[in-house]
């Protein structure tokens, strides 16, 4: 009888349907950190010896560090639109920071040209990373600075399930600014004195905790290190002491008519950089705690270069020239760190020139998704670089038909290989630099490399026509007798050894 029961049981089991285990790998999670106004040289892993960024330095050690990564524009909103859409800013229409006069007739400054018109919001029908990833099944989260339009055009209208702090403002200008109360309609106040970067990191970590069992896209877009310049008091004191211990003093040069900081020694700014680094560390620690780091793509970058010629002059971008608002390397070259342990070899250094539009196709490939058929993507996926391959040979472009608050003027540029050409709109003057030999852009080779300069200029003009670029136009109301006009030929930066005893307040 016992043998009969065993036989019946075995026959029953043989005829059961086979239920195969689900061995398909879970799609990678994505955590995207975007800093505001952070220069490439502001991180320890890019050479800073004054600012301390241990968590970001560790991220670089565990993944890839890009040496030639760029923002699509020397100011914030256009770059942010480019990251969101995978398009050059000229296609989105957002070519200046939102808040500047949108039409030439609103221009009041005495300049030779009138800036081009621009769009002050990201179109609601624009393709965005959040929309694409949400369609692919990702939970989507935004925290921090948005600055891509008024209410009705905020993150929750552009594909994000959650919006913590993303509004129209370009900085934390409500309430007590970087400390609670925040006065932000999309971020409830915390305890008095709560620090904004830490709060945004906490919200991001909470989102990751709540969505640990499904693919997620967390976009932490810091207000840091944008003005107002405010730091935790303990961090300010730390860097005041460090500055004294190292014997650092302010040194100044000139960029055209603007003072430019030559030494990183601003204690308040250093405290802001460290607080941002601590916030990144909090989010990365949550990934580690949940065992998610191996299958999470973590990306860190910035929206334009460090602020070195205006508004407190908080940092130096040396050896790069200029800073925020300028089309020189200090205004557009960015930190870019990528950690994806399952794919990217730790300690990788990548020299390929890349730019903001590349993030959209990269993250779609990471997610195993595809863009809409009618969607224009100007970037290319960086995944081949992550896997040890190369990218197709191509040029990168910039077009900024505006006057930045930091001293920059209407200009455009193209980089192909090691060569970069700049064209200044006011007088159509060109500059040509070999960035491999001269990353500080001190030696203009246009006079001796005229054929190369002409070819790059033609390529830049073709691209401008292709993307529908708008241009600055002559200002009929300019007064050459007034000192604020820009009528002389632009001058190169003063020697880098120049020092000064004072700076403008």
DSSP per-residue codes, 471-488: --EE-TT--TTSTT---S
Q: Quick one: which of 205, 323, 306 has its CA closest to 255?
A: 323
Task: Identify the band that residue 374 occupies on the pLDDT scale cut at 50, 70 and 90.
Answer: low
Q: Quick one: which of 145, 160, 157, 4 has its CA closest to 79?
A: 145
SS3 59: helix
Task: Identify the band that residue 217 occupies on the pLDDT scale cut at 50, 70 and 90.
Answer: very high
- Please give, one letter per residue, the 3-state secondary structure of 158-194: CCCCEEECCCCCCCCCCCECCECCCCECCECCCCCCC
| 328 CB-near residues (< 8 Å, 6+ apart) | 255, 320, 321, 322, 422, 441
pLDDT digits (tens, 9 = 90+) for 61-91: 999 999 999 999 999 999 999 999 999 999 9
Task: Identify the band that residue 495 occupies on the pLDDT scale cut at 50, 70 and 90.
Answer: very low
Q: Which two tokens stand for residue 286?
A: 């949550």
Q: Which two tokens stand for residue 273?
A: 């950089």
Mean pLDDT of 376-383: 95
Q: Mean pLDDT in the chain?
A: 91
Q: Please, what is the Cα angle at 386 between 385 and 391, to 5 degrees?
A: 15
Q: Is the pLDDT of residue 488 over 90?
A: no
CB 220 within 8 Å of CB 31: yes
Q: Which residue in the block uniquely carries the two structure tokens 């292709």?
A: 466
Q: Is the pLDDT of residue 489 over 50?
A: no
Q: Please state which of the ranges 150-164, 212-226, 242-256, 358-372 shows the lowest mean pLDDT.
A: 358-372
pLDDT digits (tens, 9 = 90+) for 115-152: 999 999 999 999 999 999 999 999 999 999 999 999 99
Task: Identify the band that residue 32 occupies on the pLDDT scale cut at 50, 70 and 90.
Answer: very high
What's residue 503's pLDDT? 46
Residue 34 falls in which region: left (phi positive, over 0), alpha (psi -120 to 50) or beta = beta
Distance CA 505, CA 499 (A): 17
SS3 221: strand
Mean pLDDT of 436-449: 97
């Amino acid at each position: 009888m016992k043998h009969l029961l065993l036989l019946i049981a075995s026959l029953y089991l043989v005829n059961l349907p086979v239920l195969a285990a689900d061995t398909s790998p879970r799609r990678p999670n994505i955590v995207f950190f975007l800093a505001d106004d952070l220069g490439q040289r502001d991180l320890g892993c890019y050479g800073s010896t004054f600012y301390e960024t241990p968590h970001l330095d560790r991220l670089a050690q565990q993944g890839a560090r890009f040496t030639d990564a760029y923002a699509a524009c020397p100011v914030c909103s256009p770059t942010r639109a480019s990251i969101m859409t995978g398009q050059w800013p000229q296609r989105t229409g957002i070519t200046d920071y939102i808040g500047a006069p949108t039409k030439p007739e609103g221009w009041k400054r005495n300049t030779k040209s009138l800036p081009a018109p621009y769009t002050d919001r990201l179109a609601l029908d624009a393709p965005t990373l959040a929309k694409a990833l949400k369609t692919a099944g990702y939970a989507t989260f935004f925290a921090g600075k948005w600055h891509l339009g008024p209410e009705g055009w905020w993150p929750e209208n552009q594909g994000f399930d959650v919006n913590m702090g993303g509004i129209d403002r370009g900085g934390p200008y409500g309430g007590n600014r970087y400390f609670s109360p925040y006065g932000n309609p999309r971020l409830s106040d915390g305890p008095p004195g709560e620090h904004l970067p830490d709060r945004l990191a906490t919200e991001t970590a909470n989102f990751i905790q709540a969505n640990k069992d499904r693919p997620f896209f967390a976009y932490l877009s810091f207000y840091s290190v944008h003005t107002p310049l405010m730091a935790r008091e303990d961090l300010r004191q730390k860097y005041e002491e460090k500055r004294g211990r190292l014997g650092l003093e302010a040194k100044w040069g000139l960029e055209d008519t603007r003072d430019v900081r030559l030494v990183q020694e601003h204690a308040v700014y250093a405290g802001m950089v460290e607080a941002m680094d601590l916030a990144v560390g909090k989010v990365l620690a949550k990934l580690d705690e949940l065992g998610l780091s191996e299958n999470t793509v973590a990306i860190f970058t910035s929206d334009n270069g460090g602020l070195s010629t205006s508004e407190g002059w908080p940092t130096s971008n040396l050896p790069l020239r200029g800073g925020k608002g300028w089309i020189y390397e200090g205004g557009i070259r960015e930190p870019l760190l990528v950690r994806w342990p399952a794919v990217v070899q730790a300690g990788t250094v990548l020299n390929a020139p890349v730019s903001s539009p590349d993030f959209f196709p990269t993250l779609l490939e990471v997610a195993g998704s595809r863009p809409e058929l009618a969607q224009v993507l100007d970037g290319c996926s960086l995944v081949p670089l992550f896997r040890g391959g190369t990218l197709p040979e191509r040029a990168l472009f910039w077009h900024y038909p505006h006057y930045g608050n930091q001293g920059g003027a209407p200009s455009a540029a193209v980089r192909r290989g090691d060569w970069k050409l700049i064209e200044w709109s006011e007088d159509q003057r060109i500059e040509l630099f070999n960035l491999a030999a001269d990353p500080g852009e001190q030696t203009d080779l246009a006079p001796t490399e005229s054929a190369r300069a002409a070819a790059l200029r033609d390529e830049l003009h073709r691209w401008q026509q292709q993307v529908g670029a708008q241009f600055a136009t002559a200002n009929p109301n300019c007064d050459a007798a007034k000192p604020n006009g820009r009528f002389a030929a632009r001058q190169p930066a003063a020697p880098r050894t120049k020092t000064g005893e004072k700076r403008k307040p």
